[in-house]
Amino acid sequence: MQNLTNASADPIGWHGTTILCVRRDGTVTMAGDGQVSMGQTIVKGNARKVRRIGAGGTVIAGFAGATADAFTLLERLESKLERYPNQLERACVELAKDWRTDRYLRRLEALMAVADKDRSFTLTGNGDVLEPEDGVIGIGSGGNYALAAARALMSVPDLTAEDIARRAMKIAADICVYTNGNTIVESI
């Protein structure tokens, strides 16, 4: 979760985290690694990048990008959820509109994955509110590794959403230098 003010030096775009959301058999699980990096240095290994938000913790959210930016966006999403209770999609769309049009917010560098019992979305600063076709979302520097692993593991019938998320996160941590094996998991 490094501040990426010099995006041209980083062709991937996002360093320092992996967030994975897996939806299966009525359960949604979000997992995030705990590594915080500044450049090539690991500053912290047990950061909590996945958390419950909304009234009663009915929404789980994970973030990748600059930490302060992500916390600002999480707070904004929580206020949208208060205004539109039990309407995750509406709250996400309203946040995305603000994020894209507000002069202060549009400078924030982060991505978010959010989910409730029914729906999952990826939110970007470009105004995107994207719902996956297959119930799997991967964001951050190791997001594509975790996403690919989770999609492959979805074909294993006896695995739960949490099993898939944990195994896919381990694979991402073994590949991505900005991802560690200290995984935080939340399920609904």
Catalytic residue among 5, 17, 27, 122: 17
Strand order in the sheet with 110-115: 50-53, 59-65, 110-115, 120-123, 129-130
Whole-number Å distance between alpha carbons of 125 and 165: 25
- Counting Cα atoms < 13 Å in the Cβ hemisphere of 101 gives 6
Q: If phi over 0 gives left and psi between -120 and 50 gives alpha, with beta otherwise, what is residue 181?
A: alpha
Whole-number Å distance between alpha carbons of 40 and 43: 9
Alpha-helical regions (H) of 49-135: 67-83, 88-101
19 DSSP assignment: E
Answer yes or no: 17 catalytic. Answer: yes
**Full DSSP string of 113-174:** EEE-SS-EEEE-TTS-EE--SSSEEEEETTHHHHHHHHHHHTT-TT--HHHHHHHHHHHHHH
Q: Which residues are catalytic?
A: 17
